[in-house]
Amino acid sequence: MQTCFIDSRGTSKRFKLNLLTDDAFDSINYQASFTPAPAWQTLHIPLATFRATFRGREVPGAPALDPARIRRVGLMIAERQAGPFTLEVRRIGLA
């Protein structure tokens, strides 16, 4: 099973890792949530858990994430959590 990994540490807030397979500004975004640990840790997120979304809503019937088509990577805080946070990232990749 192929996974996306992220070496990170931070506060215990939830974040979303976004993988985009299109160069267009407004396109489907594949998202998975994660919560970093306070110490450096490598999190492995199975590609099958990434959900296709468009403007925050799931896209039923969207194609599965094709890792060969990933063009951009993004990070965002999840679930509209307010307040200060820390997220440090050393690397993101596929395994």
Residues 65-84 as b or e (16 or more Cβ within 10 Å = b): beeeeeeeeeeeeeeeeeee
Question: Residue 29 sits in which domain range?
Answer: 3-94
For residue 42, what pLDDT is reported? 97
Q: Cα separation of 11 and 94, whole Å?
A: 24
- Which single residue is written with the structure tokens 């468009």? 54
Residues of the chain under the 70 pLDDT cut:
none
84: its two tokens: 């200060």
Number of domains making up the chain: 1
For residue 1, what pLDDT is reported? 79
- Which single residue is written with the structure tokens 């194609």? 63
